[in-house]
Chain A
Amino acid sequence: AQTVTQSQPEMSVQEAETVTLSCTYDTSESDYYLFWYKQPPSRQMILVIRQEAYKQQNATENRFSVNFQKAAKSFSLKISDSQLGDAAMYFCALSQGNKLVFGAGTILRVKS
């Protein structure tokens, strides 16, 4: 069975600094997708970034980038120039057939 593990329940970062959120996963499939979703206090789930497993190049979306290590089954999210609006719960997710398997989440706090 596919599993997703986020080992950091909570992280803090100073405004304008960089922070990295960790995620490891386990899957027996060779072709899959990985995601980071953001959940602010409004509870809305917002897609931050997506990585296709067969692509070696790490995905990037503005201040958000990933470090995808396929052999190690690691998929970390780097947030550069952190902003107050980045404060939220962040979930790592893995595609499994037609559904997504989520980690338990990491709360990110941004200090001004």
Chain B
Amino acid sequence: NAGVMQNPRHLVRRRGQEARLRCSPVKGHSHVYWYRQLPEEGLKFMVYLQKENIIDESGMPKERFSAEFPKEGPSILRIQQVVRGDSAAYFCASSPLQGGGKNIQYFGAGTRLSVL
């Protein structure tokens, strides 16, 4: 019974390149959340998606960041034209139903993005 799978575990990009982070939720889960963890800080919410829909993107930077959760395949967090400030650990979580605490969010091991 696989948990949330994120890949790659570590991604190195040069400034100006694109970063694509993948997240496969727990089998049967249709709700996906992305969080960012800057060094020495807690996780910060970025976006909440259901299949083919963005429900809440209130934590996403207005530019360069986008997320999708297609009908088939993993959820993708895409960062265009990366800058050094994007260096962080990006975590994906999934839940079987709508989150908010009543339904537990299960986390992946994260992708550590390093921007040179």
Contacts and interface: CB of A to CB of B under 8 A. Distances in A.
B66 interface: no
A102 B101 contact: no
Interface string B80-116: 0000000001010100001111101111111010000
A102 B104 contact: no
B101 A35 contact: yes
Interface size of A as a range: 20 to 34
Nearest to A43: B110
Contacts, number: 71
B109 A33 contact: no
A42 interface: yes
Given A32-B101, A43-B89, A98 B109 contact: no
Given A44-B109, A99-B33, A99-B56, A33 B42 contact: no
B43 A97 contact: no
Interface string A32-56: 1111010000111111001010000
B71 interface: no
Contacts of A91: 42-43
A100 interface: yes
Nearest to B91: A45
- Rank and list the top 5 A-B pairs by shortest CB-CB distance, nearest first: A33-B101, A95-B101, A102-B42, A45-B107, A99-B45
Interface of B: 31, 33, 35, 40-45, 48, 55-56, 59, 89, 91, 93, 98-102, 104-110, 112
13 contacts: A4-B42, A32-B101, A37-B107, A44-B109, A45-B110, A50-B104, A52-B101, A95-B100, A95-B101, A97-B100, A99-B56, A102-B42, A104-B41
